[in-house]
């Protein structure tokens, strides 16, 4: 048996229950990891609140947690890349999440060796935000040297990573943050840092190639104004679009809902000759290995706000929801 924090039913701001549950069984293509640290993401709170019921129809009870770092203690019969004792990190696949626990089973393809230069807590802070930034800027945007990118919320988990990655790719980076975090955003490499409490970014920025949108519908609307024709608006906060519904093999009624939800954003984008897409990041071991090499060569550094003990997982989740964290919030498990 192992200790884990469990969601018994969807409930807004509902407390997770700590309980003893069986250690997960591994499949032939999975490894069992003894978790040393897990990161907390807003996605965990949204799933607990029931906001993702349509996109991710999880069976309850459910263990939350989308970022894990730890040690391999068991390997499936078909696993070739990992062995007992390896220090690893991962964003587990959807429907196989569960990092707020002492053990987790993770697919070999979704796993990478932990960066040697990082502690377990630092490593746990990376996978979800690192893969989100990678899939948005490298895979979707194909961001090139000299292009201009606007990354919203530069002091948040995705923002702190995305700024560093965009600079590494040679882009000119603008971001928004509060007065207290201006220096942090600049230290990560942002060329223009806009204090959202004082200034409107849409009045300052223009002719951008790419926007990484992580805020509300109103901000999405304003972001369209700063992009040049042929620009790309990639949103990680919605609305989900038909291409995403197709990607996850959603049932017809969910496809219809997503078509309706994204209709306004898609129509306004088309009018301005801008491509709109919704990104829901996915587990990806190979991309995580690329990220590892950037970290170990000093190109990207983790930004951690606070580490909570395992027992305080509910407090950690509440702290992330409050939206004031600089970088990532981590739970120390072992």
Over residues 293-321, mean pLDDT = 98
Closest CA to 261 of 237, 230, 288: 237
Separation between Cα atoms, residue 215 and residue 201, nearest integer Å: 13
Contact (CB, 8 A) for 71 and 87: yes
Beta bridge partners of 233: 211, 276
Instruction: Judge whether residue 299 has pLDDT over 90.
Output: yes
Tokens found for residue 282? 């996915």
Separation between Cα atoms, residue 16 and residue 102, nearest integer Å: 15
Q: Helices 263-271 and 217-226, interaxial angle, to 10°?
A: 10
**Count helices and strands in the chain by DSSP H and E runs:** 12, 16
Q: Higher-confidence residue: 331 or 54?
A: 331
Separation between Cα atoms, residue 153 and residue 136, nearest integer Å: 15
Instruction: For residue 53, give every residue at least 6 positions away whose Cβ sits within 8 Å of its Cβ, in sequence order, or none.
Output: 10
Beta strand 87-90 pairing with 172-177: unpaired
pLDDT score recorded for residue 175: 98
Separation between Cα atoms, residue 118 and residue 44, nearest integer Å: 24
pLDDT score recorded for residue 323: 87
Summarised one tens digit per residue, pLDDT across range 77-123 is 999 999 999 999 999 999 999 999 999 999 999 999 999 999 999 99
Instruction: For residue 281, give every residue at least 6 positions away whose Cβ sits within 8 Å of its Cβ, in sequence order, or none.
Output: 91, 128, 131, 132, 135, 136, 236
What mean pLDDT value characterizes the chain?
97
Summarised one tens digit per residue, pLDDT across range 215-247 is 999 999 999 999 999 999 999 999 999 999 999
Instruction: Judge whether residue 54 has pLDDT over 90.
Output: no
Summarised one tens digit per residue, pLDDT across range 168-219 is 999 999 999 999 999 999 999 999 999 999 999 999 999 999 999 999 999 9
Instruction: Judge whether residue 138 has pLDDT over 90.
Output: yes
Beta strand 275-278 pairing with 227-235: parallel
| DSSP 3-state percent helix, strand, coil across the chain (nearest 5) | 35, 25, 40
Quote the pTM value: 0.98
Beta strand 192-195 pairing with 208-213: unpaired
Q: Structural domains in the chain? A: 2-125+302-332 (3.90.180.10), 129-278 (3.40.50.720)
């Amino acid at each position: 048996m192992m200790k884990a924090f469990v969601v018994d039913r969807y409930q807004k701001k509902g407390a997770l229950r700590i309980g003893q549950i069986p250690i997960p069984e591994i499949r032939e293509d999975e490894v069992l990891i003894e978790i040393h640290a897990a990161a907390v993401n807003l996605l965990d709170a949204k799933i607990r609140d029931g906001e993702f019921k349509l996109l991710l129809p999880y069976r309850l009870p459910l263990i939350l947690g989308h970022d894990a770092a730890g040690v391999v203690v068991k390997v499936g019969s078909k696993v070739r890349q990992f062995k007992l004792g390896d220090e690893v990190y991962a964003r587990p696949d959807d429907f196989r999440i569960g990092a707020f626990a002492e053990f987790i089973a993770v697919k070999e393809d979704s796993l990478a060796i932990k960066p040697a230069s990082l502690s377990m807590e630092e490593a746990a802070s990376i996978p979800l935000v690192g893969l989100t930034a990678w899939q948005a800027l490298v895979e979707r945007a194909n961001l090139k040297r000299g292009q201009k990118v606007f990354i919203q919320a530069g002091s948040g988990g995705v923002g702190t990573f995305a700024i560093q990655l965009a600079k590494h790719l040679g882009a000119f980076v603008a971001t928004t943050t509060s007065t207290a975090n201006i220096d942090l955003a600049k230290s990560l490499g942002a060329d223009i840092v806009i204090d959202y409490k004082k200034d409107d970014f849409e009045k300052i920025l223009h002719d951008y190639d790419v926007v990484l949108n992580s805020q509300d519908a109103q901000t999405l609307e304003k972001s369209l104004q700063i992009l040049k024709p042929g620009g790309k608006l990639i949103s990680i906060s919605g609305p989900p679009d038909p291409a995403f519904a197709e990607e996850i093999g959603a049932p017809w009624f969910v496809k219809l809902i997503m078509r309706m939800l994204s209709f306004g954003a898609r129509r306004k984008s088309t009018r301005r000759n801008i491509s709109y897409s919704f990104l829901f990041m996915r587990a990806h071991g190979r991309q995580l290995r690329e990220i590892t090499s950037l970290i170990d060569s000093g190109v990207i550094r983790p930004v951690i706000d606070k580490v909570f003990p395992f027992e305080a997982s509910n407090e950690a989740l509440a702290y992330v929801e409050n939206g004031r964290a600089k970088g990532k919030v981590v739970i120390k498990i072992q």
